[in-house]
């Protein structure tokens, strides 16, 4: 689709009306936003529950290509708040029929851009899950459209607002770890070889063609849906495109949103084995291990994940280490943050995490910030530009992995330098009738 | 099981076919009178009983045995013997001093018959099977069913075996999923076969199937849709005699004689994972699933379920609750995330107590006491009481991850780990 100028104008007009309405009622917590959720799976419902708990949500519509998920979600919404949202299997119909003020996008990655652009075009503010695109061009289109329409877009980077992240970042920025020369971001887990799983007919409750949408139509396999899309590069970008976005964002936050000038990645499936995809069976195809190196002006940052080998000798399996002239700072998940001075005689500094369980997040704070941004017109803490930059870095890593060579990056122009083959990978071909978003 | 006790036409009294080889008089009573049978069950003295099928003689997971003790010497459970049967989740069944279960090793599932006194293997029977460790450790998930001199085994891939209880000899085998032309659910078949009269009820297809228990011939089957994973239960006193099947997207009441679905309570759960058995009591039905689905109780009104209450406070991902003295005792939440042990009021679903930090692996109830096997292999005993969780004994019986509920039969408690270690704890007085 093309984000057209007339759309921008229409969106802007709507925005003005909304912002002024917001100002009038700024002090009122009675305002209920007409909210739609696109993608009613586990995480989408986690977000919606937070939205309902915050007390300013009227759920008007739910959308999913899996009618079972849709029905379960509808029943839960009714139980939680008494709302009886309309159910849709096609997001386009939803935005055509419903007057949506807030859209939550929690679909698989390959749908994010089309869902988000339709929501913005309809005049909605957006809460969108990371990554903000499956390819960089999609993410750029969301940035352009939301800015033009003056819509608030919060990206689901709850680690931007989680208490231990905020206090840890303060510690780092005040020089607690000294001058940082290297940042290492990592996620490790256990795993082994993977045998192919038989393909089957899609379940009766699933619109498989619509699930694939702009991505290639591949044989259905129970490992993909529900819950497995991240391991398939048609629909997502593996661990770097998932966890990587969170930890890259922590690094970018500390660096005051600098851009790397080159990126190199290597990795593959040495343990899981070669990816299989044929008419009868398939495996996942995301890398089981990957390293991506980002060169900045004054420091380097390295992403590393492996889905085998377990924890090993390290203290943590997930997080972000900042190596500085005074010691090593570890920003973790459930283990909070810890600073290890390079001088063993000095005390270790630590702060516990404060997370919402069972899933260990800080969505409550992130949703509150989103509402405040809509009311005040300010940028949210995980604004689309912030989510876009973290997404871009993860996708540059994936792009380098596919090419097998490093790429140079112009962060201001958001362009790959002198490499047409790499530049071509900033976009992907969409399956008809879907068209790749462009900004005109 | 002595088949003469079953009328040819399944009458309601069939649903109270208490089986106890040592109590012939009680058997006869059951055969002739539902009312007296029920009364006998309620006041039955706490003699030992064989746990010859999944969820036990009354299909409620509760043993009436009281003649056992957790007053272990030096405070530690008396592990009489251990044995290794291979990977799996299959529970233990007991008959005539023999214990039976299934495990996986080297591309085969193996049915074990062991002597309960020393754990010696009396016989074993193997059949080719994949480990199929999708998102879990894999191996067999169903429990054998004993019916007199026959043992029935339903494999994850849909092979149904009839073995001779005394020897382990295979009497017949059928690929029943192919015969019924129904698909395998995501994790394969997992419900134990249930013997009712001459029928073997299998949870497969949209609303179950019935097989002739003498030769494996299909009597009736249901549509080619995903089944769930829970065991099949019977509605006492129902007319026509009705069984409840845990289907992939509903719990379905089915007329046993025809296979006709009489009602269907839509019950959608992520991954079609309806794994807990329905609980039927006093004209009411309790359903529960994990993955944030929750629970609900229904009243059967004109043979249709009508909602009484629903709650997110009891989400049985794998284990069926135990209903005892008007309270539900169960494991709430998804196992990987660390579930809770809870007590709820049957009447209204109100939470009476909840213990969050036990990491439960499986729960049983015998003689008014709960037996909890923790994920890490600790066996804990506590009164089954709304007063709270107050363990009177506990001790390590297994190493490693345990997700199978313990079984008490004839004063012995059988525990197994996923890796396939079985420990027999002697609790006889």
Q: Residues of A with CB below 8 A from B138's CB?
A: none
Q: What is the pLDDT of residues A284-301, one digit of tens each?
A: 999 999 999 999 999 999
Q: Are A204 and A189 in a shared domain?
A: yes
* Residue A426 included in any domain: no
Q: What is the average pLDDT across B293-299?
A: 97
- In this prediction, residue A28 carries a pLDDT of 62
Q: In what order do the strands lie in the sheet with B261-266?
A: B233-235, B242-246, B250-255, B261-266
Asked whether the beta carbons of residue B226 and residue A358 sit closer than 8 angstroms, the reply is no
Nearest-CA residue of chain A relative to B271?
A226
Tell me which residue range forms the domain holding A50.
2-159+363-383+434-439
Q: What is the average pLDDT across A162-175?
A: 98
Per-residue pLDDT for B41 more than 80?
no
- In this prediction, residue B12 carries a pLDDT of 35
The token duo for B122 is 């009396």
Q: Are A178 and A52 in a shared domain?
A: no
Q: Residues of A with CB below 8 A from B134's CB?
A: 197, 223
Confidence class for position B302, pLDDT limits 50, 70, 90: confident
Expressed in angstroms, the distance from the first to the final Cα of chain B is 27
- In this prediction, residue A265 carries a pLDDT of 98
- Report the domain count for chain A: 2
Distance between CA atoms of residues A227 and A239, nearest Å: 14
Q: Residues of A with CB below 8 A from B186's CB?
A: 222
Q: Are A291 and A213 in a shared domain?
A: yes
Confidence class for position A263, pLDDT limits 50, 70, 90: very high
Q: Which residues of A79-102 are buried (b: 16+ CB within 10 A; e: fewer)?
A: ebbebebebbeebeebbeebebbb
- In this prediction, residue B191 carries a pLDDT of 98
Percent of chain A with pLDDT over 70: 93
Q: Are A153 and A12 in a shared domain?
A: yes
* Residue A68 included in any domain: yes
Confidence class for position A440, pLDDT limits 50, 70, 90: low
Nearest-CA residue of chain B relative to A197?
B134
**Cβ atoms A223, A231 nearer than 8 A:** yes
Q: What is the pLDDT of residues B340-371, one digit of tens each?
A: 999 999 999 999 999 999 999 999 999 999 99
Q: Are A170 and A233 in a shared domain?
A: yes
| Region of poorest pLDDT, from A9-13, A135-139, A276-280 | A9-13
Distance between CA atoms of residues A143 and A153, nearest Å: 9
Q: What is the pLDDT of residues B15-38, one digit of tens each?
A: 333 333 333 333 333 344 444 444
* Residue A425 included in any domain: no
User: What single-letter DSSP state applies at residue A383?
Assistant: B
Q: What is the average pLDDT across B37-52?
A: 64
Per-residue pLDDT for B190 more than 80?
yes
| Region of poorest pLDDT, from A63-72, A219-228, A317-326, A370-379 | A219-228
The token duo for B316 is 């049985």
Q: What is the average pLDDT across A143-163?
A: 98
Please tell me the distance in Å from B310's CA to the nearest CA on chain A: 9
Q: Are A111 and A178 in a shared domain?
A: no
Please tell me the distance in Å from A72's CA to the nearest CA on chain B: 6
* Residue A427 included in any domain: no
Confidence class for position B7, pLDDT limits 50, 70, 90: very low
Distance between CA atoms of residues A328 and B97, nearest Å: 62
Q: What is the pLDDT of residues A20-32, one digit of tens each?
A: 444 444 446 789 9
Per-residue pLDDT for A17 more than 50?
no
Indicate the pTM of the whole model: 0.81
Domain B46-426 has CATH 1.20.970.10: no
Q: Are A120 and A250 in a shared domain?
A: no
Q: What is the average pLDDT across B184-200?
A: 96
User: What single-letter DSSP state applies at residue A147?
Assistant: H
Per-residue pLDDT for B194 more than 50?
yes
* Domain CATH code at residue A341: 3.30.360.10
Q: Are A146 and A211 in a shared domain?
A: no
Helix, strand, coil content of chain A in percent (nearest 5): 35, 20, 45
Is the backbone of residue A150 left (phi > 0), alpha (psi -120 to 50) or beta? left
Q: Residues of A with CB below 8 A from B225's CB?
A: 204
**Cβ atoms B30, B13 nearer than 8 A:** yes
Q: Are A347 and A200 in a shared domain?
A: yes
Asked whether the beta carbons of residue B310 and residue A79 sit closer than 8 angstroms, the reply is yes
Average pLDDT of every residue of chain B = 90
Where are chain B's structural domains? Answer: 1-45, 46-426
Q: Residues of B with CB below 8 A from A199's CB?
A: none
Strands A33-38 and A102-105: parallel
* Residue A429 included in any domain: no
* Residue A59 included in any domain: yes
- In this prediction, residue A15 carries a pLDDT of 39
Asked whether the beta carbons of residue A226 and residue B134 sit closer than 8 angstroms, the reply is no
Q: What is the average pLDDT across B382-402?
A: 96
Q: What is the pLDDT of residues B71-108, one digit of tens each?
A: 988 889 999 999 999 999 999 999 999 999 999 999 99
Alpha carbon separation from B373 to A393, A436, B341, B380 (Å, rounded): 47, 55, 11, 6
Q: What is the average pLDDT across B159-175?
A: 98
Residue A285 class from Cβ within 10 Å (0-12 exposed, 13-18 middle, 19+ buried)? Answer: middle
Pick A358's closest partner by Cβ from B186, B266, B337: B337
Per-residue pLDDT for B39 more than 50?
no
Average pLDDT of every residue of chain A = 93
């Amino acid at each position: 689709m093309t984000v057209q100028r007339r759309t921008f104008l229409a969106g802007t007009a709507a925005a003005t009306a909304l912002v002024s309405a917001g100002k009038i009622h700024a002090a009122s917590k009675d305002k209920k936003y007409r909210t739609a959720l696109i993608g009613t799976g586990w995480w989408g419902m986690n977000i919606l529950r937070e939205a309902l708990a915050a007390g300013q949500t009227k759920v008007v519509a739910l959308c999913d290509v899996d009618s079972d998920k849709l029905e379960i979600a509808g029943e839960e919404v009714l139980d939680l708040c008494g709302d009886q949202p309309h159910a849709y299997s096609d997001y386009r119909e939803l935005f055509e029929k419903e007057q949506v003020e807030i859209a939550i996008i929690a679909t698989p990655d390959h749908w994010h851009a089309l869902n988000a652009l339709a929501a913005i075009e309809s005049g909605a503010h957006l809460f969108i899950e990371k990554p903000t695109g499956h390819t960089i061009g999609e993410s750029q289109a969301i940035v352009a459209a939301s800015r033009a329409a003056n819509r608030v877009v919060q990206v689901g980077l709850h680690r931007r607002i989680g208490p231990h992240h905020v206090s840890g970042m303060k510690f780092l920025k005040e020089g607690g770890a000294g001058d940082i020369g290297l940042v290492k971001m990592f996620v490790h887990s256990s795993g082994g070889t993977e045998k192919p799983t038989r393909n089957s007919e899609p379940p009766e409750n699933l619109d498989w063609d619509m699930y694939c949408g702009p991505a290639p139509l591949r044989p259905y396999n129970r490992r993909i849906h529900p819950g497995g899309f991240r391991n398939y590069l048609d629909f997502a970008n593996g661990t770097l495109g998932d966890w990587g976005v969170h930890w890259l964002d922590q690094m970018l936050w500390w660096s005051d949103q600098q851009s790397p000038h080159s990126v190199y990645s290597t990795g593959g499936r040495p343990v899981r084995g070669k990816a299989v995809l044929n008419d009868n069976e398939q495996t996942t195809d995301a890398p089981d291990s990957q390293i991506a190196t980002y060169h900045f002006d004054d420091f380097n940052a390295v992403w590393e994940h492996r889905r085998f080998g377990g924890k090993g000798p390290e203290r943590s399996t997930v997080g972000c280490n900042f190596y500085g002239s005074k010691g090593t700072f570890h920003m973790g998940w459930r283990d909070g943050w810890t600073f290890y001075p390079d001088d063993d005689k000095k005390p270790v500094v630590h702060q516990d995490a404060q997370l919402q369980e069972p899933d260990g997040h800080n969505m409550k704070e992130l949703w509150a910030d989103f509402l405040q941004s809509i009311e005040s017109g300010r940028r949210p803490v995980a604004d689309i530009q912030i989510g876009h930059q973290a997404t871009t870095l993860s996708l540059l890593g994936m792009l380098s992995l596919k090419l097998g060579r490093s790429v140079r990056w112009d962060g201001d122009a958001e362009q790959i330098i002198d490499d047409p083959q790499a530049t071509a990978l900033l976009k992907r071909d969409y399956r008809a009738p879907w068209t790749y978003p462009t900004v005109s | 099981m002595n088949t003469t006790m079953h009328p040819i036409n399944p009458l309601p009294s069939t649903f109270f076919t208490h089986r106890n080889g040592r109590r012939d008089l009680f058997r006869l009573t059951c055969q002739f009178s539902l009312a007296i049978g029920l009364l006998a069950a309620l006041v039955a003295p706490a003699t030992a009983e064989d746990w010859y099928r999944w969820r036990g003689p009354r299909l409620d997971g509760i043993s009436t045995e009281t003649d056992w003790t957790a007053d272990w010497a030096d405070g530690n459970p008396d592990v009489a013997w251990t044995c290794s049967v291979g990977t799996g989740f299959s529970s233990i069944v007991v008959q005539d001093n023999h214990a039976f279960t299934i495990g996986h090793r080297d591309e085969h599932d193996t049915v074990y018959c062991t002597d309960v006194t020393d754990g010696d293997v009396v016989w074993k029977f193997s059949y080719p099977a994949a480990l199929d460790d999708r998102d879990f450790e894999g191996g067999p998930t169903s429990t054998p069913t004993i019916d007199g001199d026959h043992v029935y085994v339903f494999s994850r891939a849909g092979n149904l075996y009839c073995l001779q209880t005394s020897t382990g000899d295979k009497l017949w085998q059928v690929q029943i999923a192919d015969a019924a032309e129904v698909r395998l659910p995501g994790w394969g078949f997992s419900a134990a076969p249930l013997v009712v009269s001459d029928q073997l009820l299998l949870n497969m297809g949209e609303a179950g199937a019935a097989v002739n228990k003498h030769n494996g011939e299909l009597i009736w089957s249901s549509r080619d849709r995903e089944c769930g994973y829970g065991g099949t239960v019977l509605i006492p006193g129902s007319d026509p005699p009705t069984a409840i099947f845990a289907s992939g997207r509903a719990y379905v009441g089915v007329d046993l004689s025809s296979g006709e679905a009489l009602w269907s309570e839509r019950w959608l759960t992520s991954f079609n994972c309806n794994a807990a058995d329905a609980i039927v009591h006093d004209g009411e039905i309790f359903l529960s699933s994990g993955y944030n689905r929750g629970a609900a109780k229904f009243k059967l009104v004109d043979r249709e379920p009508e909602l009484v209450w629903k709650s997110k406070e009891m989400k049985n991902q794998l284990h069926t609750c135990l209903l005892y003295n008007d309270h539900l005792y169960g494991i709430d939440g998804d196992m990987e995330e660390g579930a809770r042990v809870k007590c709820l009021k049957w009447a209204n679903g109100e939470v009476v107590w909840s213990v969050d930090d036990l990491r439960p692996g499986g729960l049983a109830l015998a003689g008014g006491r709960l037996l909890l096997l923790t994920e890490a292999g600790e066996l804990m005993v506590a009164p089954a009481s709304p007063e709270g969780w107050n363990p009177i004994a506990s001790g390590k019986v297994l190493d490693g991850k345990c997700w199978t509920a313990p079984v008490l039969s004839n004063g012995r408690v059988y525990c197994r780990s996923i890796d396939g270690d079985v420990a027999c704890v002697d609790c006889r007085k």
